Amino acid sequence: MLYSVVVPDAGGDTMWANTRAAYDSLGAPLRRFCDDLIGVHYSPHYARVVAEGGGNTWHGQKLEELPPVEHPVVRVHPETKRKNLFVNPGFTVGLKDIPGSQGKALLRLLYNHMTAPEFLVRYKWSSGTLAFWDNRTTMHYGIYDYDGARRVMHRVILRGDKPQGPASPA
C-alpha cells in the first residue's frame, strides 16, 4: 500500500505492470520454458543496508546478512491459481542453471515484454490517495521526474507467502 501525503505539482507518478497478463500473452513454447525456470533474487542495496545495521530485523530475528534467494520465474497465485511472471529488474539478478549472458538475455526479453504499454498503467497521485496492489501479480516503479520537488509517501508492506511455481509441491 502506498499513501500520498505530499505530491509534486508535476511528476512523481507510479507505474504498475500486470505480470499475469504478460505471462498469458507469451508464446506457448516460451510459457512452458519459463514454467520450469528458477530466478535468483538479490539486492546489493538492501544487503548493504542490512550489513550496516539498518532495517535488519525480520520476524523478530536480527539479520546479519541478506543472501541471494531463489524463486520460481513463474509464480502460481495462491488464491486464483493463475500463473504470472515473478521477476523484476530491481531484484532478479540471474537464472539458476542458465549462465551469465544467456540468463541475462532471457531476463531482458521478459522485462521488455512485461513493460510493454499494453501491460502498464500509470497513476498520477493526488495528495491523500491510497494505492493498494498485489505484489504477487504486479511490479511497480515510481517515476523520479520531479526534480527535487517534495514527494512524501507512506508505505505499508504486508507479509507475503512463499512463492510457489507450477512444479512446486502443494
Would you kindly state where each structural domain of the chain is located, as residue ranges? 2-155
Taken in order 98, 104, 110, 113, is the CA torsion positive or negative? Answer: negative
CB-based contact 68:40 (threshold 8 Å): yes
Q: Give Cβ neighbours of residue 139 (< 8 Å, ≥ 6 apart).
A: 16, 17, 19, 88, 114
- Gap between the Cα atoms of 3 and 9, Å rounded: 17
Q: Check residue 127 and give its pLDDT.
A: 96
Q: Which amino acid is at 7?
A: V
Q: Check residue 158 and give its pLDDT.
A: 81
Q: Check residue 79 and give its pLDDT.
A: 93
Q: Which CATH architecture has domain 2-155?
A: 4-Layer Sandwich (3.60)
Residue ranges, the chain, pLDDT below 70: 45, 47, 50, 54-58, 169-170
Q: Check residue 159 and give its pLDDT.
A: 78
Q: Check residue 59 and give its pLDDT.
A: 72
Q: Check residue 131 and give its pLDDT.
A: 94
Q: Check residue 78 and give its pLDDT.
A: 93
Q: Tell which phi-psi region holds residue 150, choosing left (phi > 0), alpha (psi between -120 and 50) or beta.
A: beta
